[in-house]
Amino acid sequence: MSNIYLPHLVTIEDIYEEAPWVRSYKLVFKDHEVRDNFDFKAGQFGLYSAFGAGESTFCLASSPTRKGYIQCTFRSVGRVTSALADLSIGDTIGFRGPYGNWFPIDRWKGKDILFIAGGIGLPPVRSVIWNCLDTRENFGDISILYGAKAVEDLVYKNELRHWDERPDINLVQTVDPGGETPEWQGKVGFVPTVLEGMAPSAGNKVVVTCGPPIMIKFVIEVLGRLGFDDNSIYTTLENKMKCGVGKCGRCNVGDVYICKEGPVYTAAEIKQMYNDF
Partner 1 sequence: MAERYLKREDLAKLIDSVCSGEGLFVGPKMDGRQVVYAPISAYKDIVFDYIVPRNSFKEFLFPQTEVIARYAVHKDGIDLQGVKAESPEMVVFGSRPCDAASVASLRSVFTWDFVDTSYTEREDRMVIMTIACTDRDEGCFCSTVNLAPDSVGGSDLFLKETLEGGYLVDIVTDRGRTFVERFEGIFSAGGADVDIKRIADVPRLKGVDVKKIKEDLRDTSHYDNDDLWAGLTRKCIGCGACTFVCPTCHCFDIADEGSALEGERRKNWDACQFDHFTLHASGHNPRDTQYKRWRNRFMCKFNFYPNKFSSRGCVGCGRCIRVCPVGLDITEVMEEMSGR
Binding positions for partner 1, 201-220, rule CB under 8 A: 213
Any bridge partners for residue 187, and if so which? Answer: 174
**Counting contacts by CB under 6 A, is residue 136 touching ligand FES?**
no
**Counting contacts by CB under 6 A, is residue 259 touching ligand FES?**
yes
Instruction: List all residues 6 or more positions away from 214 whose beta carbon is below 8 Å from its beta carbon.
Output: none
Binding positions for ligand FES, 148-207, rule CB under 6 A: none
Long-range Cβ contacts of 158-163 (<8 Å, 24+ apart) = 159/126, 163/129
Among 72, 105, 154, 241, contact with ligand FES (rule: CB under 6 A): 241
Query: Which stretches of the chain are assigned E, i.e. beta strand?
Result: 8-19, 22-29, 45-50, 54-59, 70-75, 92-99, 112-118, 142-148, 170-175, 187-188, 205-210, 233-236, 252-253, 256-257, 264-266
In the complex, least distance from residue 250 CB atom to partner 1, rounded to whole angstroms = 5
The residue (of 149 and 260) whose beta carbon lies closer to partner 1 is: 260
Interaction partner, residue 274 (partner 1, ligand FES, none; CB < 5-8 Å by kind): partner 1
The residue (of 30 and 109) whose beta carbon lies closer to partner 1 is: 30
- Cα within 13 Å of Cα(27), Cβ side: 30
**Counting contacts by CB under 6 A, is residue 87 touching ligand FES?**
no
The residue (of 78 and 177) whose beta carbon lies closer to partner 1 is: 78
The span from the CA of 250 to the CA of 243, in Å, is 9
Answer positive or negative: Cα dihedral of 221, 223, 229, 233: negative
* Helix ranges (DSSP H) in the chain: 32-37, 79-85, 122-134, 157-165, 191-198, 213-225, 258-261, 267-271
The residue (of 119 and 186) whose beta carbon lies closer to partner 1 is: 119
The residue (of 14 and 51) whose beta carbon lies closer to partner 1 is: 51
Would you give the DSSP letter of residue 7? P
Question: By rule CB under 6 A, what count of residues binds ligand FES?
Answer: 12
The span from the CA of 134 to the CA of 100, in Å, is 23
Among 253, 264, 267, 270, contact with partner 1 (rule: CB under 8 A): 253
**Counting contacts by CB under 6 A, is residue 247 touching ligand FES?**
yes
The residue (of 213 and 227) whose beta carbon lies closer to partner 1 is: 213
Interaction partner, residue 264 (partner 1, ligand FES, none; CB < 5-8 Å by kind): none
What is the contact surface with partner 1 in residues (CB under 8 A)?
1-7, 9, 30, 49, 51-56, 77-78, 81, 83, 92, 94, 213, 238-240, 242-243, 245-250, 252-255, 257, 260, 272-277
